[in-house]
Chain A
């Protein structure tokens, strides 16, 4: 083992892949993210090299690597793999060592993970097959509206009326948007409607408790969804630090704890 043992967590998601590198004492040395692209193996290798570069380390310094996410089986240099449910729970418990419901909104799926006070997962729920309410949904509708992603939230903040897209299906939601455009709905209201729909799809998945932690790329890019979730549930809602990297962070913690 290297004199400077480092621990790498890799979260190979459907849209984005993320990496977190921990030092010997558990401190975060580097984070990185990139589009997953066509090959999980390539994304994993590039992320590993990226975080090692940033930390001024080499692959020989890696004491343990844990992979998670859809591509977790496609990381040839991983020492162990865990599902994203376990890794997100581990990351959330590190930041918030109390009973909580983790709401992770990713590129292709949504998760609710009920984490006990001791960090154990009590149960979890995932969205069904459709991507309605996920990051892919937000991207699709923004594309239909011809609004750049970075303009969605400022427009939503200017909304004057609450609307929610009701369909479970992303394609049919886009059809609903066309109908609303035809009826003269303002761009701000439509953008707010996208975020309302994201949260509506989450809330109908299952019961949420008194303390909610949010993670994933959607809340990282659009913090407004945390406010909407708090309004809809009446719960205390916190956003995990570096929410897009929570799964990778959890994987790195698992690596440090012996995989």
Chain B
């Protein structure tokens, strides 16, 4: 098994994440403060500007996957009427709630997940997030509000943006009522500026993988992305990625390779298999293949935050530009750009059984992209959280066979 090289930043991140969860937990117990649950690519900036502490159930879903506790909880949600075919973040999370358990108990000493005052979704990723939050709205008796985004979008137009802006503005009365304070656009601008800084720095970190050998892999990035998801819009996230970026520069200067003897540069397309993250990192490392780029980790890079002007428009565009909400033609274009930018030798597509929206293998995209770029690919079948859908040996054989065939430094 190859040597893992943990980042100093991970230690800092652990403290940051602990602070985040304790902060939300404390707010949920304080009658003067308010907690909003938000989808991971939802309007967190709006919520922070209204003084909410923000909690992200998808982050909790990923924790359930990474700790493999999902296996215990998914069947409970299945039995409660949530199909094994729908999002396994949803079924893991709802199952854990039904069991009255959470990894936050062991990791951070919390009694349970912090109770929300309002639930806010954006369907830019999928409809499942709305159904997921609806469960908790019924359970806690708190309002559910959100934005229904267009999906399968080619070019994001002014009309798309205007429609989303109208929906965000329409949320304000409900959010103000839940927050117990009035919306302040200057505060919103400040939070958005912090998100823009976070996004710019996170992107800079990911782009360090263009260096050969790369100082970080997709698997490292899956861990390091935590603050970009749950703390964007805060100074803590900005400081964290400034430090992480400096550490990556140090690694490059010192010639530290994330994968010893990096021979092949891989694009990981689709969700991580959370319960096998470390295992797959080691497996690819053993084969001297470095997963240098992914659409997943790039999903928290929001270039549009920086556009200036109306902050509602900037946020709306950022959350419409999202890869997952785009048409296959647009996705193909984005991926072709990343393949060239990161000098990719081959693509591993993860077709996640319960995440069709994040599985870009089902409408001929891999074949078209190979035709266009010449970059070979392999598809592995698995899931983000439900390991019942992951045949490990078959997946590893496919990846290993693929790596045996792909020549380094050029398409097959």
Contacts and interface: CB of A to CB of B under 8 A. Distances in A.
Interface in B386-411: 389, 391, 393-394, 397-398, 400-402, 404-405
Contact of A85 (B376, B391, B393, B404): B404
Interface stretch (A59-67, A122-130, A159-167, A217-225): A122-130
Nearest to A125: B379
Contact of B394 (A123, A124, A126): A126
Interface string B236-279: 00000000000000000000000000000000000000000000
A126 B393 contact: no
B174 interface: no
A84 B405 CA distance: 12
A252 B393 CA distance: 23
Residue among A70, A82, A120, A128 with max Cβ neighbours from chain B (10 Å): A128
Contacts of B412: 120, 122
B397 A86 contact: no
B404 A70 contact: no
B207 interface: no
B398 A126 contact: yes
Given A123-B376, A126-B398, A83 B404 contact: yes
A109 interface: yes
Given A120-B405, A128-B381, A85 B397 contact: yes
Contacts of B389: 129
Given A122-B412, A128-B381, A129-B389, A109 B394 contact: yes
Given A123-B376, A128-B381, A129-B389, A84 B394 contact: no
A120 B376 CA distance: 14
Contacts of A84: 397, 401
Given A85-B397, A126-B397, A121 B381 contact: no
B404 A82 contact: yes
Contacts of A123: 376, 405
B405 A129 contact: no
A70 B394 CA distance: 8
A86 B405 CA distance: 8
A85 B400 CA distance: 9
A33 B161 CA distance: 65
B404 A86 contact: yes
A129 B383 CA distance: 12
Contact of B393 (A70, A86, A122): A70
A190 B257 CA distance: 58
B159 to A, nearest CB: 40
Nearest to B381: A128
Interface string A155-178: 000000000000000000000000
B397 A129 contact: no
Contacts of A83: 397, 400-401, 404
Contacts of B381: 128-129
A121 B405 contact: yes
B294 to A, nearest CB: 22
Nearest to B404: A86
A109 B405 CA distance: 20
Interface string A66-105: 0000100000000000111110000000000000000000
Given A128-B381, A129-B381, A85 B394 contact: no
Given A83-B401, A86-B401, A124-B402, 10 more contacts: A70-B393, A83-B400, A83-B404, A84-B401, A85-B397, A121-B404, A122-B412, A123-B376, A124-B398, A129-B381
12 contacts: A70-B393, A82-B404, A83-B397, A85-B404, A86-B404, A86-B405, A109-B394, A121-B404, A121-B405, A123-B405, A124-B405, A126-B398
Interface of B: 376, 381, 389, 391, 393-394, 397-398, 400-402, 404-405, 412
